[in-house]
Amino acid sequence: MSHLGGIADDFTGATDLATNLAGRGFDVVVVTETGLDAIEQDPGVRARLSGYEAVVVALKTRTAPVPAAVDASLRALDALRALGTERIYDKYCSTFDSTDEGNIGPVLDALTEALGVERTVVVPSFPDNGRTVRGGILSVHGVRLEDSSMRTHPLTPMTRSRVAGLLRPQSIRSVGEIHTDTVDAGVAALREAIAAVDADYLVVDATSDQHLATIVEATGDAPLVSGGSGLALGLTPRTPRSATPMTVTAGRRIVLAGSASSATQGQVRHAKERMPHRQVDVRALATDLDGELDAIATWATQQPEDGPVLVYAVAEPSDLIASVDAAAAVERLLSALAARLSGADAGFTRFVVAGGETSGAVVSALGLDELVIGPRIAAGVCWASGTTDRAGTGIPVNVALKSGNFGTEDLFSTAWKELHA
Ligand SMILES: Nc1ncnc2c1ncn2[C@@H]1O[C@H](COP(=O)(O)OP(=O)(O)OP(=O)(O)O)[C@@H](O)[C@H]1O
Ligand SMILES: O=C(O)[C@@H](O)C(=O)CO
């Protein structure tokens, strides 16, 4: 029986959570929406997956309308319950990516109702990646969220920093705060505060892994926790055992960077100095997406086979075209490119993908139902393996899904060295 079930609102978030769980000794697998079909339909799949200590469902709901996000999350919950999971970890972004119409609140409302939970913690902090909450204010590397690069995010611009203030407009339930002094006072004090504060959702400060461990201990066996992936760093598997080994492939390598985040832009500029590279002509996509796809696919297959190549959307802030249509077209292009290049003819089997939305589109296009977690590349980023179809006749691939703002500048050229048999 699986112990922990994660529901992540995007794919990089799912592998981020899985990376931290694996780091704590959990045998963990990520399943996609097609993997949910298999859980629902196939008792054999249910029996196999319930052997994992943790199962994380990767949804693509971060920017989805509320009803779709709620439905998908409840479906994930049902599937996780069918695996016997006892605790649910609702994973959203460490920078609380959403708008006032966002779905973090509605999904929490739905999960608390379905689980019959009265209150739950809200903990976006992930100190290893510079995300901290102090006095209820979320900061990124010491800069208030509203003053960070997230202010100009193309899909979820973050213009306020108080987590409770971001959550309240989204939820029908009440939101309170518990600050650092209480967390510093230790498990018993925090437990008391959680019981005493008159609110359903409690935004709990955390600026260190020690704070996260205190929160995990204070929430004990709570059936639901919510946050970024940081809280996982305080969890302990019930039955530690060796992780399922990840398959390492030997095919060609490509970086697909659809993320517009500032860290990704730096990584793109760094990689451009070190590998063959090509920028997506975003304006051309509106009129001739197929032509651009053909051109980039042909270019990629003509590059030297022994090193990675880079296809990217944004290297400088001025490359960004603020339009939902442009964003959707970039996702379509990069995902179709991944599908085409993963075919036996082109022979690409190893993919670093930057950006949550982009990763969701790419993994879906590759048709991966399950991701087995492999070596850690950076905080919240790991290699994973999957098979491009479920019948067992597909092509094994490795993917590293990198959240937009995660990773050091050299990640696109150094990630590969973690990929060894
Ligand atoms: N030049 C561009 N103009 C407009 N939109 C773009 C452009 N390049 C990329 N995009 C879009 O921006 C969005 C980036 O979202 P994505 O989630 O992939 O990355 P991110 O937001 O940087 O990362 P994360 O969500 O992991 O923090 C995607 O929808 C992508 O298609
Ligand atoms: O929590 C984060 O910052 C990431 O896992 C994320 O959500 C990626 O989009």
**Residue 380: pLDDT band by 50, 70, 90 thresholds?**
very high
The reported pLDDT for the residue numbered 244 is 83
pLDDT mean over 345-370: 95
Is the pLDDT at 267 greater than 90? The verdict is: yes
The reported pLDDT for the residue numbered 90 is 98
Is the pLDDT at 402 greater than 90? The verdict is: yes
Higher pLDDT, 116 or 344: 116
The reported pLDDT for the residue numbered 123 is 98
SS3 278: strand
The reported pLDDT for the residue numbered 376 is 96
The reported pLDDT for the residue numbered 153 is 83
| Least confident span in 124-128, 188-192, 316-320 | 316-320
Strands (E), 208-251: 224-227
Nearest CA to ligand 2 atom 5: 13
The reported pLDDT for the residue numbered 324 is 79
Write the CB contacts of 192 (distance below 8 Å, at least 6 apart in sequence): none
**Residue 2: pLDDT band by 50, 70, 90 thresholds?**
low
Is the pLDDT at 391 greater than 60? The verdict is: no
Strands (E), 113-165: 120-123, 131-134, 137-140, 143-144
Is the CB of 13 inside a 6 Å radius of any atom of ligand 2? yes
Write the CB contacts of 371 (distance below 8 Å, at least 6 apart in sequence): 14, 15, 18, 29, 30, 31, 32, 58, 363, 384, 385, 386, 399
CA of 205 from ligand 1 middle (Å) equals: 29
Structure tokens at 66: 């509320």
Provide the residue count of the chain.
Answer: 421
**Residue 145: pLDDT band by 50, 70, 90 thresholds?**
very high
Phi, psi of 312 (to 5 degrees): -140, 160
Per-residue pLDDT tens digits for 35-49: 999 999 999 999 999
CA of 14 from ligand 2 middle (Å) equals: 8
Residue 134 identity:
R
Is the pLDDT at 228 greater than 70? The verdict is: yes
Is the CB of 261 inside a 6 Å radius of any atom of ligand 1? yes
ipTM above 0.90, yes or no: yes
Is the CB of 231 inside a 6 Å radius of any atom of ligand 2? no
Which one-letter DSSP state was computed for residue 371?
E
Nearest CA to ligand 1 atom 18: 355
Q: Which ligand is nearest to the CA of 258?
A: 1
The reported pLDDT for the residue numbered 393 is 61
Q: How far apart are CA 314 and CA 265, in angstroms?
A: 6
| Least confident span in 56-70, 277-291, 376-390 | 376-390
Strands (E), 120-276: 120-123, 131-134, 137-140, 143-144, 175-178, 201-204, 224-227, 252-257
CA of 62 from ligand 1 middle (Å) equals: 12
Q: Which ligand is nearest to the CA of 19?
A: 2
Cβ burial, residue 221 (10 Å; 0-12/13-18/19+): exposed
Per-residue pLDDT tens digits for 72-84: 999 999 999 999 9
Per the prediction, the chain carries an average pLDDT of 95
Architecture in CATH of 4-234: 3-Layer(aba) Sandwich (3.40)
Helices 324-341 and 356-366 pack at an angle, to 10 degrees, of: 40
The reported pLDDT for the residue numbered 407 is 97
**Counting atoms of ligand 2 from 1, which one is nearest the CA of 92?**
7
The reported pLDDT for the residue numbered 421 is 65
CA of 260 from ligand 1 middle (Å) equals: 5
User: Tokens 């990217």 sit at which residue?
Assistant: 312
Cβ burial, residue 220 (10 Å; 0-12/13-18/19+): exposed
The reported pLDDT for the residue numbered 1 is 61
Q: How far apart are CA 412 and CA 353, in angstroms?
A: 9
Per-residue pLDDT tens digits for 92-107: 999 999 989 999 999 9
CA of 346 from ligand 2 middle (Å) equals: 31
Is the pLDDT at 260 greater than 80? The verdict is: yes
Architecture in CATH of 252-418: 3-Layer(aba) Sandwich (3.40)
Domain positions in the chain: 4-234, 252-418
Nearest to 107 by CA among 71, 80, 138: 71
Q: How far apart are CA 337 and CA 335, in angstroms?
A: 5
The reported pLDDT for the residue numbered 71 is 98
The reported pLDDT for the residue numbered 392 is 53
Q: How far apart are CA 388 and CA 380, in angstroms?
A: 24
Q: Which ligand is nearest to the CA of 229?
A: 2
Per-residue pLDDT tens digits for 323-356: 878 999 999 999 999 999 998 889 999 999 999 9
Is the CB of 264 inside a 6 Å radius of any atom of ligand 1? yes
The reported pLDDT for the residue numbered 420 is 76
Is the CB of 222 inside a 6 Å radius of any atom of ligand 1? no
CA of 12 from ligand 2 middle (Å) equals: 6
